[in-house]
Amino acid sequence: MADTMQFDLVSPERSLASLQVSAVQIPGADGDMTAMPDHAPTITTLRPGILRIEGPEGSSEYLVTGGFAEIGAGSLSVLAEKATPVSEVTRAHIDELIAEARASHEAAQAHPNIVDEAAKLLADMEALGTHMSL
């Protein structure tokens, strides 16, 4: 069994990480999961949450607002809608994400088939701010 795997985290704005890791905790849409070397190939969607990375050089955390994670043979790629190192997140940043989610929820009211999804996004964003104590 290999000790590490290649990890890449990208968002539309930039590449945030490309390094060898021993474990990554992923905020999956169906629940948190931890990917480690030799994990079974998997693709999952992300919900808003904290992506935690453990590697030989230490650990790091990123706030992600959604996207996809693909676990392959010896690698993990995360394509995030938005991703920010937790060390750079401020209350103003969380408030902006909540405002965007609230606007999406209000716009979805006219479309009953997507209102539940928008309500979940808003609840996840509000919970994320509380979880981070910001």
Residue 24 has pLDDT above 90, yes or no: yes
Rg of the Cα atoms in the chain: 15
CA distance 91 to 109: 27
Which range of residues forms the domain containing residue 42? 5-86
Q: What is the pLDDT of residue 123?
A: 79
Q: Judge if 46 and 108 occupy the same domain.
A: no
Q: Which pTM does this prediction carry?
A: 0.79
CATH of the domain at 17: 2.60.15.10
Widest distance between CA atoms in the chain:
52
Q: Judge if 64 and 114 occupy the same domain.
A: no
Q: Which residue has the higher pLDDT, 113 or 107?
A: 107
CA distance 54 to 21: 6
**For residue 48, with 0-12 CB atoms within 10 Å meaning exposed, 13-18 middle and 19 or more buried, which class applies?**
buried
Q: Judge if 108 and 49 occupy the same domain.
A: no
Q: Judge if 69 and 103 occupy the same domain.
A: no
Confidence of residue 63 (pLDDT cuts 50, 70, 90): very high
Q: Judge if 16 and 63 occupy the same domain.
A: yes
